[in-house]
Chains A and B, each alone.
Chain A
Amino acid sequence: NAGVTQTPKFQVLKTGQSMTLQCAQDMNHEYMSWYRQDPGMGLRLIHYSVGAGITDQGEVPNGYNVSRSTTEDFPLRLLSAAPSQTSVYFCASSLEGGQGGHNEQFFGPGTRLTVL
C-alpha cells in the first residue's frame, strides 16, 4: 500500500490564482480530511469527508472547496489564492470516523504552498 499520497510537494502561486491540491489513499478508508499547519501552531482542520459524496467544514474552511466523488480521492481547491493561505497542507485518512470505530489517522507527506 502507498498509504496517503499528496501532490504536488511544493507549489508557488501568485495572489488570485487557483489550484487543486491532490490527495489519494489506497487503504479503503471512509474518512478523509485536510489540515493546514502554520509556523508555531498546531494543525487546523479545513474540511473533512466521512464518505464519498459527503463533505463538511472544519475549523478554517474559508477560501477552500472540496469534493469527494470517490472513496480514494479528496482534492482541495483554492479558488483565489491569498498570501494568508501560505502554509503546509496535510491530508489524512482513517478507517472509520464514528463511535466504535478505530479511527487512527494516517497522514500524507504534505504540500508546501507559498502564495506571493
Chain B
Amino acid sequence: KQEVTQIPAALSVPEGENLVLNCSFTDSAIYNLQWFRQDPGKGLTSLLLIQSSQREQTSGRLNASLDKSSGRSTLYIAASQPGDSTTYLCAVSGVDSSYKLIFGSGTRLLVRP
C-alpha cells in the first residue's frame, strides 16, 4: 500500500531564505507527483505536477524534483516570502490508478518577516 510522508511537519524560516521541503513515498510505481499549497480555510492550489518520466519542474521561485527510484521528491522555494507561509501537501498517483491521489500529511511553513 502506498504511503506518503512529508518531513518536516512544520518549518519556520526568516524571509529571504532558500528552503527545501521533503516528500517520500513507499511504492516507486507512480504515475505522477503533485505539490499543492493549502491556505487556511481554503481548498488546495496546485503548484507543480511532475510526470513519472520527468526529473523536475519549475514555476517561478519553485522547483520540484522527483527521484522515483529512491521514492523521493523535494520542493525547493527560493528567496522565501511571508506570502509563502501556508501548508504544502505532496500527493502521488499510481500507475494502475492514475486519477487517485495519495496524500502526505503536509508541511506547515512560516516565513518570518
Contact = CB atoms under 8 A, between A and B. Distances in A.
Interface of A: 4, 31, 33, 35, 40-45, 48, 50, 58, 90, 92, 94, 96-99, 101, 103-110
B89 interface: yes
B43 A110 contact: yes
A96 B49 CA distance: 14
B78 interface: no
Interface string B92-106: 010100111111111
Interface of B is mostly: strand
Contacts of B45: 107
A107 B99 contact: no
B100 A110 contact: no
Q: Closest 4 A-B residue pairs measured CB to CB?
A: A97-B99, A42-B103, A107-B44, A107-B43
Interface in B14-45: 31-32, 34, 36, 41-45
A99 to B, nearest CB: 6
Contacts of B34: 104-105
A33 to B, nearest CB: 7
B46 interface: yes
Nearest to A104: B49
A98 B103 CA distance: 19
Interface residues of B, number: 25
Contacts of B91: 42-43
A50 B99 contact: yes
Contact of A103 (B36, B42, B98, B102): B98
Interface centre among B41, B99, B105 (most CB of A within 10 A): B99
A97 B89 CA distance: 20
Given A42-B105, A42-B106, A101 B43 contact: no
Contact of B98 (A40, A101, A106, A108): A101
A48 B43 CA distance: 18
Nearest to B6: A42
Given A42-B104, A90-B43, 5 more contacts: A33-B99, A94-B99, A103-B32, A105-B46, A107-B46
Contacts of B77: none
B104 A110 contact: no
